[in-house]
Structure 1
Amino acid sequence: MPVSNPAENSGSLTGHILAQGWYDAPVEQRRGNLKVILAMLIVLGVLVTVSLVFVFTVGSSFTDMLTGK
């Protein structure tokens, strides 16, 4: 495998990895990460909303049950 930079051909594992090179991800792939983050935020928002609705509607019943009222 040809190596463009002889300093990266030191015989070590790190040199071998550096000699492999990296390519820039296409723009479409980077936008995919944005979609994943957006989906995770939406799911987190839904979970928080459901939790708050549960606490406000049933929370007092649990408090009464634990305090013995």
Structure 2
Amino acid sequence: MPANAVENSGSLTGHILAQGWSDTPAERTGNTRVMIVLAAALGLLVAISVMVVLLAGDALDGLVGSVLNG
């Protein structure tokens, strides 16, 4: 019979607790690569947003300008 019967109650939680895993996750060392990828994705998103705003502005200026000036 195990010393701690609560951890071997037959439930999934009891099974996980009986494994003896630590509560804190192991430290990761690949944060630099993650930050570079996130910065590149953010830069790409900003660049696409600027292009959309400029193209939409030109399109609206062409539509409204022709109506107002015509």
Q: Same fold (TM over 0.5)?
A: yes
For structure 1, list consecutive stretches of 5 or more residues without a partner in the other structure.
Answer: none
Greater Rg by CA: 2
In 2, the alpha carbon distance for the partners of 1:39 and 1:22 equals: 31
- TM-score (normalised: structure 1): 0.56
In 2, the alpha carbon distance for the partners of 1:41 and 1:21 equals: 38
> What is the CA distance between 1:48 and its match in structure 2?
0.8
In structure 2, relative to structure 1, the CA distance for the partners of 1:9 and 1:66 (3 Å cut) is farther
- TM-score (normalised: structure 2): 0.55
In structure 2, relative to structure 1, the CA distance for the partners of 1:42 and 1:21 (3 Å cut) is farther
For structure 2, list consecutive stretches of 5 or more residues without a partner in the other structure.
Answer: none
Q: Show structure 1 runs of 4+ deviating over 4 A.
A: none
Match of 1:12 in 2: 11
> What is the CA distance between 1:66 and its match in structure 2?
4.8
Match of 1:60 in 2: 57
How many residues were matched structurally?
61
